[in-house]
A and B are shown apart, each in its own frame.
Chain A
Amino acid sequence: MKYADEFRDKTIARGLARAIGAEAESQSEYRFMEFCGGHTHAISRYGLEDMLPANVRMIHGPGCPVCVLPASRIDMAIRLAERPEVTLCVYGDLMRVPGSQGKSLLTAKAFGADIRMVYSTLDAIRIAEQAPNREVVFFAIGFETTTPPTAVMIRLAEKKWLKSFSVFCNHVLTPSAMHSILESPDIRNIGRVEVDGFLGPAHVSAIIGTEPYEVLAQQFGKPIVIAGFEPLDMMQAILMLVRQVNEGRHEVENQYSRAVTRKGNRRAQEEVSDIFELRDQFEWRGLGLVPHSGLKLKQAYAQFDAEMRFAMHEVRVADNPACECGAILRGVKRPVDCELFGTVCTPEIPTGSCMVSSEGACAAHWTYGRFRDYQLRRA
């Protein structure tokens, strides 16, 4: 695949690993958080951690939209799907996420709820066009990457006069979450997150640009390097972070310049700001209520807002107390530190959301990392 395979060259990766090893000062510790689930997945898949020196550690952050969705929002979606007049369209990743009673959209579907898996928001529009007598609701979720496609969909629905189409909006914003990781009252309970720098999201940044991170890098004195998702992209970005730490800098640098600019995709930003506005706060699994971190539809589009249309209410629920997702999302603990990991909680029957999505820290470790643990134990 062009623009992918060239960035997977093993020899160059080894060279980069040596360069990182040579530049990382042996008496220092480098802890870098990759914010994005795509990075978590790639790090596990390509075994990048094995290539890094022991004092350079990657911390898996909360960058998977499925993993940070609280159980209460899943409960709301299930209650909605159980209404006989409703067809609920969802991205496949969401189907197995457990709500508060262990119930998921998949089990609701098995009991007869009309739930359809879609690949794209365009599929949801098609379903709505084909079923004008049903209330078709799209379960919108995701960071800045998936928000513009939802915006385009709402515009299309308006243009096509889809009267019984609406959106259950769960879109969230990356910079506010990064902010909350570095500074939030919860830190006292979970333990301080020790992060020396961030591997910034690739595709989120393609939309919002690198500019929104500048204030974070300044305010918290942490370097941020925007990195692509291929292994060489990440290795180069880690080297750039090591250099910044060594030189005492905390800037935003852009490794992924082939797709990311400082200002991002203006057209996508405009679509989003035309249709959405900030919520005062939104609950993130593991991070709690994060101010100004979620989006809702503007008043002008209220007719498409499923929460208004169906008078949906959010009932906050506590997460399974044994599930360590909260601490894992903040990089304070690792999947293996959770006593449910691999016993009660597996990708087939996940307890927490980090195990559900292939981009979650627990699922990535289950799929690619266990063998590595085994080898380490034997060594």
Chain B
Amino acid sequence: MCLSVPAEVAKILPDDMAIVSIDGISKEISIALIDDLAVGDYVLVHVGYALARIDPAEAERTLQLLQELGSEGQDLQS
């Protein structure tokens, strides 16, 4: 039940609703819990609601850090 997925906002609808795309599949969800969403933003979707906005810069930073940590680990082996 706690599983949620990242989705891209494809269209903002009236009444705090939006169409998001999850791996190419469209879904109508509520965006009542997030302010100022725009098309192209990524959100976490859980039980039909956007719960949080995904910050692309932070995602990039985490990925970079993971690459570094991962390759440090690789070096340990060799």
The answer to whether A15 touches B69, judged by C-beta atoms less than 8 angstroms apart, is yes
> Shortest distance in angstroms between B43's beta carbon and chain A's nearest beta carbon?
9
How many residues of A are in contact with the other chain, CB < 8 A? 63
C-alpha spacing A66/B70, complex, angstroms: 35
**Least CB separation from B59: chain A residue:** A258
Contact A152 B32 (CB under 8 A): yes
A 290-331 contacts with B by CB, 8 A: none
Q: Does A117 sit within 8 A of B, measured CB to CB?
A: no
- Residues of chain A with a CB closer than 8 A to B76's CB: 18-19, 21-22
- Once the chains bind, are A15 and B4 in contact (CB under 8 Å)? no
Cα of A141 to Cα of B3 in the assembled complex, Å: 14
B33 near A229 with CB under 8 A, answer no
Determine if A239 is an interface residue (Cβ-Cβ < 8 Å). yes
Query: Are B71 and A15 closer than 8 Å at their CB atoms?
Result: yes
Residue in B3, B23, B30, B54 whose CB lies within 8 Å of A258: B54
Question: Which residues from chain A contact B32 at a C-beta distance below 8 Å?
Answer: 152, 271
Contact between chains at B73 and A18 (CB < 8 Å):
yes
Q: Which residues of A contact B1 (CB under 8 A)?
A: 37, 64-66, 91, 93, 141-142, 146, 357, 359
Decide yes or no: A3 and B54 within 8 Å by CB, A16-B69, A16-B70, A64-B2 being known contacts. Answer: yes
Most chain B beta-carbon contacts within 10 A, residue among A14, A15, A149, A233 = A15
CA distance A305 to B77 in the complex (A): 59
- Contact indicator per residue, chain B 1-27, by CB within 8 Å of chain A (1) or not (0): 111111010000000000000110000
Contact of B38 with A by CB under 8 A: no
Closest B residue to A260 using CB positions:
B52
- A221 and B3 CA atoms in complex are apart in Å by 29
Q: Which of A119, A236, A267 is B34 in contact with, Cβ under 8 Å?
A: A267
Given A203-B44, A259-B54, A259-B55: A236 in contact with B6 (beta carbons within 8 A): no
**Beta-carbon contact of A146 and B62 below 8 Å:** no
Interface pair B2/A268, CB less than 8 Å apart? no
Residues B44 and A259 in contact, CB atoms below 8 Å apart: yes
A residues 254-278 near B (Cβ < 8 Å) are 255, 257-260, 265, 267-268, 271
Report the 10 A-B pairs with minimum CB-CB distance, sorted nearest first.
A120-B48, A15-B73, A15-B70, A12-B70, A19-B73, A206-B52, A18-B73, A3-B6, A258-B59, A258-B58
Which A residues contact B (CB, under 8 angstroms)? 1-4, 6-7, 9, 11-22, 36-38, 41, 63-66, 91, 93, 119-123, 141-143, 145-146, 148-149, 152, 201, 203-204, 206-207, 229, 232-233, 236, 239, 255, 257-260, 265, 267-268, 271, 357, 359
| 6 further contact pairs, Cβ within 8 A, besides A1-B6, A204-B2, A267-B34 | A120-B48, A122-B30, A122-B48, A152-B49, A257-B55, A265-B51
User: Which residues in B have some Cβ–Cβ distance to A below 8 Å?
Assistant: 1-6, 8, 22-23, 29-30, 32-35, 42, 44, 46-49, 51-56, 58-59, 61-63, 65-67, 69-74, 76-77
